[in-house]
Chain A
Amino acid sequence: MSNYDYDVIVLGSGPGGYVAAIRAAQLGLKTAIIERENLGGICLNWGCIPTKALIHNAEVVETFHDAKTYGISFDNLTVDFGAAVKRSREVVGRQTKGVGFLMKKNKIEVIEGHGVFLDDHTLKVTPSEINEEAETRTVSAANIIVAVGARARSLPGTEIDHDRIIEYRDAVVLGELPEKMIVVGSGAIGMEFSYVYSSYGTEITVIEMLDQVLPLEDSEVASEVAKSFKKRGISLRTSTRTEKVELTDGGVEVTVKDLNSDKTETLSADKVLMAIGIRPNTDKAGLEATSINVNERGFINVDEVMRTNVPHIYAIGDCTGKLALAHVASAMAIVAAETIAGAETLPIPDERYQFMPRCTYCYPQVASLGMTEAQAKEAGYEINVGKFPFMPNGKAQALNERVGFVKIIADAKYGEILGAHLVGPDVTELLPELSLAQFMEITPAEIARNVHAHPTLSEVLMEAAHAVEGHPIHM
């Protein structure tokens, strides 16, 4: 039908790329996917999945620490971090096999190796650092979906040596537990690793330049998490800038400056984890051979159907700089594939990204969407805020959970949910109800009137919705 080898080539097989390939194949397109490392990308191999396995291990450890509460006692509790890492790798193995199976099932050709653009339709695949066996070949497609992802960014002048100055990829497979670790950056990655390592006994100091941890979250949520972190002995240094990171004999020294007092201090640790953000992998895809525009930070600009400035080239996920989350990449992937196939789709306009779910899996968990209370006010909305704690909830009590709350921010005029901010037990599993409500433009009035099963944690959502309407029951 065309002069190209494939209808679609997807470059990169993370949660964006592999989903795009499946959807394209489902819609009858001849599809190939190029991966230089392992199927599943960062999410499956180095990010979401292995960290969640480690976090669950940490939670189990915490429960053991708390064993007396449950009337369990034992002598000589020992925890083996190496075993936790090993379990997480097993989980990864099963998940990536699953992706391989899905590729086969959908008759998607998996091309191993590092794909680089030769021109707007052609890619050259060569052996990569990870996969030296890969065959060198040239492939072409009528449409190309760029899903090359991103990697950890470091501070200017500080090189990640993967030994003492590490990134998430190292932290997820650390051979031995550091005694002291400094975490630079308090976003989801920084906070999740801080939680895991502190549970296993590492002394953690978190350095955050902005005035709260989890700087993108609502300030009340951030302070709830901060309170809990401080209780477990994690040192949180907000409004603090990391000036210098230096290797010393056997360790590392970090010079920080308190932005309020202007005082400089040097902290020492075994390791420093850089968790200050990402940079796109667009520099490794040979984009200069195409006419694709990237912005000054290297991200690829796309429209609401993920099209780049080159009509047959699409980009999805972290390399677009929209919202670097796996589920966002998957959503973008579906729109891109459907657009290429000419199938019905639902474009994602820029303002939708703000309402996509955001989760941090430390303890207490954080889940949110939409505007923070401050942002809603700044945007000029007159708002109703409903907040309800987990403390009075029967199920939370039964689970021995006392921390956290659900906060819903609604437009006073039409009831539209402008923001939802959850902190507490398993809140990442509670967010979808509010996410669906926001998407379907359901208001707290309907959420409050929708009967929630008792006893469940979800009753707290219902109570928060009642609170927006001004009449929570169990308060």
Chain B
Amino acid sequence: MATPVMMPQMGESVIEGTVARWLKAPGDSVEKLEPLLEISTDKIDTEVPAPAGGTLLTILAQEGVTVAAGSVLAYIGAEGEEAPVAPEPEEADAPSPPGDEAPLEEAGASRAEAQAKPAGRTFISPVVARMAAEHAVNLDRIQGSGLGGRITKKDVQAFLNGQPDEPPAPSRSAPSQPRQRTPLTGDTVIEPLTTMRRAIADHMVLSKRTSPHVTTVMEADMTAVVRHREANRSALAQRGIALTYSAYFVAAAAAALRAVPIVNSSFREEGIARHTRINIGVAAAIPAGLIVPVLRDADELSLPGIARTLEELVARARSGRLQPDELQNGTFTITNHGIGGSLLGTPIINQPQSAILGVGAIVKRPIVVSESASLLPSADDAIVIRPMCYLSLTIDHRVLDGAAADEFLSVVKKTLEGWS
């Protein structure tokens, strides 16, 4: 029996991948888990290992072809074995017959999107199927205006027009092809969207449309953290660990997620999905855009452990060598926008999570400290200079209310201020 090689699903929002390079040719023998081909997605470039040992019988998706996650790329079997007649891999920009686009949709539909889906699938016309394939549109996200809710060409057009910009088909931006700037009349040129830019755009719009965003802000006195970091930095550096402030924020967030577990959840139509594991994603800027590697079970890691893992993940993210599972299953996200000097931000939730913590720059500010409980001026008041940091928590108001948000943020603040 031949074993199919499938396009893996790289992260929750990744619905397709491009075959970058085949490392083996048909007829070559391969060992199980030996790198078989390189693929490129909007999130990462990675190698796909052979799912079984044997002979590479046939390649169905040639280099440069973009296919939906779950599509068969090749078959491995015994030498001389005939490859099964497989459906052509579903090319992301090829017309697909109605009813045949399940992998594309299932992959694209996050929990939050699923709620917009009408019960049962109505007829998808050939024209709509072709448009959806060309633009990699998840039809579950479109409300049909036709009889019985049928999605018409006009609906798809309106959906595409509603997006920030009409994107070119992802397949046209296959990595091997040189990008071309299209001059417009006047002083503007159009630079084709990269797959990642497109994915970010789609995800941000989706998130804003899915969740009612509310942001709450507190500030933390970082004196204890700064002091701790100064004291331990060089010792850890000798162990090869760069102790970043981000590590403290991850640790504080993990503590707060344990203390207020409702924040570690996702809204679903059937109910609130409460996640038992605390997997914290940390947004990292990379040249191509933005990527969110995930620290698994962050609450089980020590501060040096967090620092080390974080450093490794970010380094791999920047060199495009993250493993697919290092992008998946996040339950909460932190964005340290303060790295660029930003004081305060209102980040957008990373779906299908229900909250995101924004961390501002740590700056010395005069603040008033007082022994007095009264808000009225008192002889006990003093103005002091402290390293301060704004913390903003954006929540999905469908899941969380202000009280839970503030409770969570208070734990983060207290953890940071009381660091020892």
Give me the interface of A with B, judged by CB distance under 8 Å: 346, 413-416, 440-443, 445-446
Instruction: Name the B residues within 8 Å of A416 (CB-CB).
Output: 127, 153
Decide: B147 and A441 in contact? CB cutoff 8 A. Answer: no
Give the distance in Å from the alpha carbon of A440 to the alpha carbon of B146 in the complex: 9
Decide: B147 and A415 in contact? CB cutoff 8 A. Answer: no
Among residues of A, the one whose C-beta sits closest to the C-beta of B125 is A441
B128's partner among A413, A441, A445, A446 (CB-CB below 8 A) is A441
Instruction: Name the A residues within 8 Å of B123 (CB-CB).
Output: 440
B128 CB to closest chain A CB (Å) equals 6
Decide: B146 and A415 in contact? CB cutoff 8 A. Answer: no
Give me the interface of B with A, judged by CB distance under 8 Å: 95, 123, 125-128, 130-131, 134, 146-147, 152-153
B326 CB to closest chain A CB (Å) equals 38
User: Could you write out 6 A-B pairs with CB less than 8 Å apart?
Assistant: A415-B95, A415-B127, A416-B127, A440-B123, A441-B152, A443-B126
In the complex, besides A414-B127, A414-B153, A446-B126, 4 extra interface pairs with C-beta distance below 8 angstroms are A346-B146, A415-B95, A415-B130, A441-B153
Decide: A346 and B147 in contact? CB cutoff 8 A. Answer: yes
Give the distance in Å from the alpha carbon of A158 to the alpha carbon of B125 in the complex: 51
Most chain A CB atoms below 10 A, which of B95, B126, B134: B126
Give the distance in Å from the alpha carbon of A442 to the alpha carbon of B130 in the complex: 11
Give the distance in Å from the alpha carbon of A109 to the alpha carbon of B363 in the complex: 83
Instruction: Name the B residues within 8 Å of A445 (CB-CB).
Output: 126
Instruction: Name the A residues within 8 Å of B127 (CB-CB).
Output: 414-416, 441-443
Given A441-B126, A443-B126, A446-B126, residue A414 in contact with residue B147 (CB < 8 A): no
Instruction: Name the A residues within 8 Å of B152 (CB-CB).
Output: 441
Give the distance in Å from the alpha carbon of A446 to the alpha carbon of B146 in the complex: 20
Give the distance in Å from the alpha carbon of A441 to the alpha carbon of B130 in the complex: 11
Most chain A CB atoms below 10 A, which of B127, B147, B152: B127
Most chain B CB atoms below 10 A, which of A414, A415, A441: A441
A384 CB to closest chain B CB (Å) equals 13
Decide: B146 and A442 in contact? CB cutoff 8 A. Answer: no
Among residues of B, the one whose C-beta sits closest to the C-beta of A440 is B125
Instruction: Name the B residues within 8 Å of A413 (CB-CB).
Output: 130, 134
The SS class assigned to the B binding surface is helix
Instruction: Name the A residues within 8 Å of B134 (CB-CB).
Output: 413-414
B95 CB to closest chain A CB (Å) equals 8
Give the distance in Å from the alpha carbon of A459 to the alpha carbon of B95 in the complex: 26
Give the distance in Å from the alpha carbon of A416 to the alpha carbon of B125 in the complex: 10
Instruction: Name the B residues within 8 Å of A441 (CB-CB).
Output: 125-128, 152-153
Instruction: Name the B residues within 8 Å of A415 (CB-CB).
Output: 95, 126-127, 130
Give the distance in Å from the alpha carbon of A446 to the alpha carbon of B95 in the complex: 13
Most chain B CB atoms below 10 A, which of A413, A414, A443: A414
A104 CB to closest chain B CB (Å) equals 31
Instruction: Name the B residues within 8 Å of A414 (CB-CB).
Output: 127, 130-131, 134, 153
B157 CB to closest chain A CB (Å) equals 10
Among residues of A, the one whose C-beta sits closest to the C-beta of B97 is A446
A355 CB to closest chain B CB (Å) equals 12
Instruction: Name the A residues within 8 Å of B130 (CB-CB).
Output: 413-415, 443
Decide: A442 and B126 in contact? CB cutoff 8 A. Answer: yes
A326 CB to closest chain B CB (Å) equals 22
B385 CB to closest chain A CB (Å) equals 64
Among residues of A, the one whose C-beta sits closest to the C-beta of B156 is A414
Instruction: Name the A residues within 8 Å of B128 (CB-CB).
Output: 441
Instruction: Name the B residues within 8 Å of A346 (CB-CB).
Output: 146-147
Give the distance in Å from the alpha carbon of A415 to the alpha carbon of B152 in the complex: 14
Instruction: Name the A residues within 8 Å of B146 (CB-CB).
Output: 346
Instruction: Name the B residues within 8 Å of A446 (CB-CB).
Output: 126
A437 CB to closest chain B CB (Å) equals 9
Instruction: Name the B residues within 8 Å of A442 (CB-CB).
Output: 125-127
Give the distance in Å from the alpha carbon of A336 to the alpha carbon of B125 in the complex: 27
A61 CB to closest chain B CB (Å) equals 44
Instruction: Name the A residues within 8 Å of B147 (CB-CB).
Output: 346
Instruction: Name the A residues within 8 Å of B126 (CB-CB).
Output: 415, 441-443, 445-446
Considering the complex of A and B, which 5 residue pairs feature the smallest CB-CB distances, nearest first? A441-B125, A441-B127, A414-B130, A416-B127, A443-B126
Give the distance in Å from the alpha carbon of A89 to the alpha carbon of B261 in the complex: 83
Instruction: Name the A residues within 8 Å of B153 (CB-CB).
Output: 414, 416, 441
Give the distance in Å from the alpha carbon of A440 to the alpha carbon of B144 in the complex: 13
B384 CB to closest chain A CB (Å) equals 67
A347 CB to closest chain B CB (Å) equals 8
Give the distance in Å from the alpha carbon of A440 to the alpha carbon of B127 in the complex: 9
A433 CB to closest chain B CB (Å) equals 15
A48 CB to closest chain B CB (Å) equals 27
A432 CB to closest chain B CB (Å) equals 17
Give the distance in Å from the alpha carbon of A443 to the alpha carbon of B95 in the complex: 12
Among residues of B, the one whose C-beta sits closest to the C-beta of A416 is B127
Give the distance in Å from the alpha carbon of A416 to the alpha carbon of B134 in the complex: 14
A220 CB to closest chain B CB (Å) equals 25
B136 CB to closest chain A CB (Å) equals 15
Give the distance in Å from the alpha carbon of A346 to the alpha carbon of B146 in the complex: 7
B180 CB to closest chain A CB (Å) equals 20
B142 CB to closest chain A CB (Å) equals 14
Instruction: Name the A residues within 8 Å of B125 (CB-CB).
Output: 440-442
Among residues of A, the one whose C-beta sits closest to the C-beta of B123 is A440
A469 CB to closest chain B CB (Å) equals 12
A305 CB to closest chain B CB (Å) equals 13
Instruction: Name the A residues within 8 Å of B131 (CB-CB).
Output: 414
B189 CB to closest chain A CB (Å) equals 22
Among residues of A, the one whose C-beta sits closest to the C-beta of B130 is A414
Give the distance in Å from the alpha carbon of A443 to the alpha carbon of B147 in the complex: 19
